[in-house]
């Protein structure tokens, strides 16, 4: 289930509507583009990306005719942050789920987006952000929320270390306790 939240007078998030139902939806990324609402969502397997669209935020969501738009590719299927519109181009952030979940984030330029077509291409062979090997993002980077502000880019990121629940399968020991 995917929910849209609004802020009430006490600044508490309150569910406003079910946008999708019927299966597990993971890391949805919703955005408005050319008078239509769009949403990417993955499944729990992290290797499939589905695309949905609607004319109205709270109702009428339909699956794209080419779903899944990314098939059997854990390197690029799972959403990894906000869709960015920059210099008249759309970019989708994607988590790299191989060799393990959430290792780094890549950007994909969306080159075609309509009810009938979807195409994207890798923006760079280098990740936007990746694990550092030590500290708070030792084992991976899961999410990036980047925005342009006063001519500069700022971002909030989500990293993981050996103490988090997302630990590399190769890490047998955990010295966090």
In a domain, 174, yes or no: no
Q: Cα(147)–Cα(129) distance, rounded to whole angstroms?
A: 15
CATH number for position 21: 2.115.10.20
Question: What's the domain count of the chain?
Answer: 1
β-pairing, 62-63 with 49-54? antiparallel
* pLDDT tens-digit series, residues 63-120: 999 999 999 999 999 999 999 999 999 999 999 988 887 889 999 999 999 999 999 9
In a domain, 81, yes or no: yes
Instruction: Give residue 9's pLDDT.
Output: 57
Radius of gyration of the chain (CA): 17
Domain that holds residue 114: 2-160
In a domain, 176, yes or no: no
Contact assessment for residue 63 and residue 102, using Cβ atoms and an 8 Å cutoff: no
Closest of 74, 75, 54, 51 to residue 64, by C-alpha: 51
Q: What is the pTM of this model?
A: 0.83
In a domain, 94, yes or no: yes
In a domain, 165, yes or no: no
């Amino acid at each position: 289930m995917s929910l849209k939240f609004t802020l009430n007078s006490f600044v508490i998030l309150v569910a406003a509507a079910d946008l999708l139902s019927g299966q597990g939806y993971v890391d949805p990324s919703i955005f408005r583009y050319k008078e239509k609402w769009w949403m990417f969502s993955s499944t729990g397997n992290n290797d499939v990306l589905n695309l949905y669209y609607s004319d109205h935020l709270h109702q009428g969501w339909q699956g794209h005719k080419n779903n899944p738009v990314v098939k059997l590719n854990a390197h690029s299927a799972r959403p990894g942050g906000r869709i960015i519109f920059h210099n008249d181009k759309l970019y989708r952030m994607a988590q790299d789920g191989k060799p393990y979940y959430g290792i780094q984030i890549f950007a994909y330029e969306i080159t075609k987006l309509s009810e009938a077509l979807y195409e994207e291409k890798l923006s760079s062979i280098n990740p936007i952000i990746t694990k550092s090997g030590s500290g708070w993002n030792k084992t991976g980077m899961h999410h990036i929320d980047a925005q342009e502000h006063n001519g500069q880019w700022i971002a909030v990121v989500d990293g993981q270390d050996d103490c988090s629940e997302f630990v590399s399968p190769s890490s047998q020991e955990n010295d966090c306790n």
